[in-house]
Structures are given as structure tokens and as C-alpha cells.
Amino acid sequence: MLYKTKILWKKNSDESFLDRKYSRVHKWIFDGGIQVHASSSPHVVPLPMSDETAVDPEEAFIAAASSCHMLSFLYIAAVRKFIVESYEDNAEGVLKKNDEGKISVTQINLKPKIIFSGDNIPSEDQLKELHHLAHESCYIANSVKTKIDVLYP
């Protein structure tokens, strides 16, 4: 399976580029036609060269890890006959130097809040197992070196 995205950036005519004070605002275009306003993080490249209203790669990476975990979790919960009514995750990522001295997202903490319904509500141990299986089957988690933990109450 091949996945494609298009990334578009163009220098503004009033920018010299060589002074490194050019806009980092760009577009992500996905195969379904969705366009996302993207930029470098203002924590990495100062305003006005970044756009704080845009999605930055670090946020997108954390969202991808969270989304993948959630989709795996929902599938496994359905197979195990647990009804999930809602799933909310306020995921966080830590950007710092890794063991090789390179700046990277070294930690992602998933903090899912899940509401179940029906007669079959998972126990604490079953919930941990669901998260473990979801993590093991998540394509994103299997693709990166970043440690990804699931933090739940």
C-alpha cells in the first residue's frame, strides 16, 4: 500500500530567503482533497516566520500517533464486544535532545478518556490489555523510535 501527500511551499516575493527570514507557512494536501494549513512551530521558528494558527509537524506527528492508537483501540474493543460511546485523547509530546544528541519528539503521552456503555464494561486489567493490544497493532507506533506511552486514570 502506498500513501501519498503533497506538500506545497512558495517563497513570498518580498523575502530574500538567504537571510533565513522567510515564511514557513505551507499546505498539506491529502489524497481525498483535504488541505491543511501548516507551518513550522512558533516554538522552533519565531513569529512572524511561523504561523501559530497552523498545524506544525510536531503536532501532526503526535496527532497521528494518538489517532492510530484510538483506531486500533476501537477495533479491538468492538471485537471484544465492548461498546465505546466516546473516546477523547489530550495527547502530549515532548521535544528535546535524544540519546544521540538530536532534537526529536522523545516521548508521546496518550491520555485517553473513554466512555463505555452496555452490560460489558472492561475491568481495569481488561482496559490495560486493550491499550496494550492497540499499541502493538498501531502502524504509527510500529514505525517510529519515539517512546509512546498511554496514560490513563
pLDDT tens string for the chain (153 positions)? 899 999 999 999 999 999 999 999 999 999 999 999 999 999 999 999 999 999 999 999 999 999 999 999 999 999 999 999 999 999 999 999 999 999 999 999 999 999 999 999 999 999 999 999 999 999 999 999 888 888 876
pLDDT for 145 equals 87
Domain ranges of the chain: 1-55, 57-150
Q: How far apart are CA 54 and CA 38, in angstroms?
A: 5
The C-alpha R_g of the chain, in whole angstroms, comes to 19
Domain 57-150 has CATH 3.90.209.20: no
pLDDT for 147 equals 85
pLDDT for 153 equals 67
Q: How far apart are CA 37 and CA 20, in angstroms?
A: 21
